[in-house]
Chains A and B, each alone.
Chain A
Amino acid sequence: MSKEQQRYLKKIKIRKYFVILVQVIIVIGFLALWEFLANKNIINTFVFSKPSEIWETILGLIAQNNLFNHILTTLKEVLIAFVLGILLGFIIAIILYEIPILAEIVDPFLTMINSLPKVALGPLIIIIAGANTKSIIVMALLINLIVSIITIYNGFVNVDDKKMKLIKSFGATKAQILTHLVIPSSYKTIISSLKLNISMSLIGVIMGEFLVSKEGIGYLIIYGTQVFNLSLVMAGILILIIISYILYKIIIFIESKLIKKF
């Protein structure tokens, strides 16, 4: 390796460490400032709580053996909604692709449902599905399914004309066109819809838990608000941030594993 190349690589490395360092300083500084302002009574700890209290709340939750149950409940719901959303989205997208007239017919309805703020349907869902986990899943599906359908379907219809012509020149059947061309060439679109879907599922689940649940991170937050335990609310939000970040990272990892090949 030449000296210039070494210097170049070193520069990149230093830059990376610098970014991480600043990020850590920002987080620590933010927490320290928060703690400091709270201790000096400059901000109202009743509303904003403070890092040490939030930490104690989290430790308390762990001690009562509650925290992991809540996290597990939320994760389970997210996973169910995520898998259902992807599977149903995939199947419905295939049906729409195979029956173009159906796609044309349902197009405005999909757009309407997609643009509707789904929380508005919350009360209705509870009445229909009951105040239980089912409602939470339905809520999350409402949010992630339409987006999945639209993304995957768009991947399907954007298949290259030339490749279509080519595969037809070999006399491919509809099923073969699907398995040998349409699905593989939408592979990247499908994978990237996973990313969108996981965050949508989390949004839907938390929204559902706000409305009905007796367990889960969403419940922790809403319960905290009701009893004016703002440390609990903040703890819930913090855990949520961490969960969503980890889920996102997992999906990115899966994506990089699946896409590497070509």
Chain B
Amino acid sequence: MNKLLEIKNLSKKYHTKNGEISAIDNISFDVYEKEFLCIIGSSGCGKSTLLNILANLDDLSSGKILKKENLNIGYMLQEDALMPWLNILDNALLGLEIRHEKTKENIAYTKELLEKYGLKDFLEKYPSQLSGGMRQRVALIRTLATRPDILFLDEPFSALDYVSRLSVSNDVAHIIKCEKKTVVMITHDIAEALSLADRIIVLSKRPAKIKSIYDISLEGETPLEKRKAKNFANLYDRLWKDLDKNV
């Protein structure tokens, strides 16, 4: 399979007034084209740090990241971070605007995405008029509009309540599948990881090291179906045992 990213011996230290914090300790893994990779770890273990470094939002302290040439990265955060002063269409176009890629063709593509994923009647509305799940979809489309080769999702559902969380993750999985994207998603929710991922990397508590890597193939098309798969409970147990708890 085609490698998009190779991470080699990555380490990260933060320097603060109160001393040095080692956030990531010597992590190596690869990301393959079209896979859905989940990274799980207890909160505060260094997951966001890892993703920020991969997305060029933070510097690494040592190690190497090899990226496929011209790799276009899309990044989606925990909060939708929609601009309240822009309407839904303009929010979705923000990435293109910043990159000076707001061509007719790209605008049409963005509108098509919005319409395809149930936001047709909301183009002129403002974020405050939308539900949490809809906003999260707009945030995803804003990222997709720049046609990224790889998507980085940092706990994209954790700002939602449990019920909408299940349906939004269903939605998002559906969109990502339709658009055939490579995904690296961070979560601290084992069930969420299991229901979405092709592969799961378990990180230790801080400083993050790789504890184990699982290939996942659960029966079922959608995340909700996968939650009912035979092997689900079994895998859940194994991951639960691997995961360091913050106690």
By a CB distance below 8 angstroms, the chain B residues around A162 are 77-79, 81
Secondary structure class of chain B's binding surface, majority of residues: loop
Given B57, B84, B99, B128, which contacts A165 in the complex, CB threshold below 8 Å? B57
Q: A166-B77, A262-B126 are in contact. Are A176 and B85 (CB under 8 A)?
A: no
Q: A168-B57, A169-B75 are in contact. Are A184 and B99 (CB under 8 A)?
A: no
- Give the docked Cα–Cα distance between A224 and B126 (Å): 56
Secondary structure class of chain A's binding surface, majority of residues: helix
Given A165, A170, A184, A185, which contacts B98 in the complex, CB threshold below 8 Å? A170
Given B52, B73, B85, which contacts A185 in the complex, CB threshold below 8 Å? B85
By a CB distance below 8 angstroms, the chain A residues around B95 are 170
**Closest Cβ neighbor of B79 among chain A residues:** A162
By a CB distance below 8 angstroms, the chain B residues around A237 are none
**Closest Cβ neighbor of A166 among chain B residues:** B81
**Cβ of B83 < 8 Å from any Cβ of A?**
yes
Expressed in whole angstroms, the minimum distance between the Cβ of B149 and any Cβ of chain A is 14
Task: Flag if B99 contacts A185 (CB, 8 Å).
Answer: no
Task: Flag if B57 contacts A169 (CB, 8 Å).
Answer: yes
For window 243-262 of A, CB contacts with B under 8 Å fall at 261-262
Given B77, B79, B84, B99, which contacts A170 in the complex, CB threshold below 8 Å? B99
**Cβ of B10 < 8 Å from any Cβ of A?**
no
Task: Flag if B79 contacts A172 (CB, 8 Å).
Answer: no
Task: Flag if A170 contacts B94 (CB, 8 Å).
Answer: yes
**Cβ of B221 < 8 Å from any Cβ of A?**
no
For window 48-99 of B, CB contacts with A under 8 Å fall at 52, 55, 57, 73, 75, 77-79, 81, 83-85, 94-95, 97-99
Task: Flag if B94 contacts A184 (CB, 8 Å).
Answer: no
By a CB distance below 8 angstroms, the chain B residues around A185 are 83, 85
- Give the docked Cα–Cα distance between A32 and B140 (Å): 68
Given B55, B75, B78, B94, which contacts A180 in the complex, CB threshold below 8 Å? B94
Interface residues on A, range: 10 to 19
By a CB distance below 8 angstroms, the chain B residues around A172 are 98
By a CB distance below 8 angstroms, the chain B residues around A165 are 52, 57, 77, 81
**Cβ of B187 < 8 Å from any Cβ of A?**
no
- Give the docked Cα–Cα distance between A206 and B45 (Å): 60
Given B81, B85, B99, which contacts A171 in the complex, CB threshold below 8 Å? B99
**Closest Cβ neighbor of A187 among chain B residues:** B85
**Cβ of A54 < 8 Å from any Cβ of B?**
no
Task: Flag if A180 contacts B81 (CB, 8 Å).
Answer: no
Residue of B52, B78, B95, B98 ringed by the most chain A CB atoms within 10 A: B98
- Give the docked Cα–Cα distance between A162 and B52 (Å): 12
By a CB distance below 8 angstroms, the chain B residues around A167 are 94, 98
**Cβ of A160 < 8 Å from any Cβ of B?**
yes
- Give the docked Cα–Cα distance between A172 and B56 (Å): 12
**Cβ of A76 < 8 Å from any Cβ of B?**
no
**Cβ of A119 < 8 Å from any Cβ of B?**
no
Given B75, B78, B83, B128, which contacts A181 in the complex, CB threshold below 8 Å? B83
For window 147-204 of A, CB contacts with B under 8 Å fall at 160, 162-163, 165-172, 176, 180-181, 184-185, 187
By a CB distance below 8 angstroms, the chain B residues around A169 are 55, 57, 73, 75
Given A176, A180, A262, which contacts B84 in the complex, CB threshold below 8 Å? A262
By a CB distance below 8 angstroms, the chain B residues around A180 are 83, 94, 97-98
**Cβ of B42 < 8 Å from any Cβ of A?**
no
By a CB distance below 8 angstroms, the chain B residues around A160 are 81
Q: A262-B126, A262-B128 are in contact. Are A163 and B94 (CB under 8 A)?
A: no
- Give the docked Cα–Cα distance between A154 and B94 (Å): 25
Task: Flag if B85 contacts A262 (CB, 8 Å).
Answer: yes
By a CB distance below 8 angstroms, the chain A residues around B94 are 167, 170, 180
Known: A169-B73, A171-B98. 7 other contacts (CB 8 A): A163-B81, A167-B98, A168-B57, A170-B99, A170-B146, A180-B94, A262-B126
Name B's A-contacting residues (CB within 8 A). 52, 55, 57, 73, 75, 77-79, 81, 83-85, 94-95, 97-99, 126, 128, 146
Return 27 A-B CB contacts under 8 Å, by A number: A162-B77, A162-B78, A162-B79, A162-B81, A163-B81, A165-B57, A165-B77, A165-B81, A166-B77, A167-B94, A168-B57, A169-B57, A169-B75, A170-B95, A170-B146, A171-B98, A172-B98, A180-B94, A180-B97, A180-B98, A184-B83, A185-B85, A187-B85, A262-B84, A262-B85, A262-B126, A262-B128
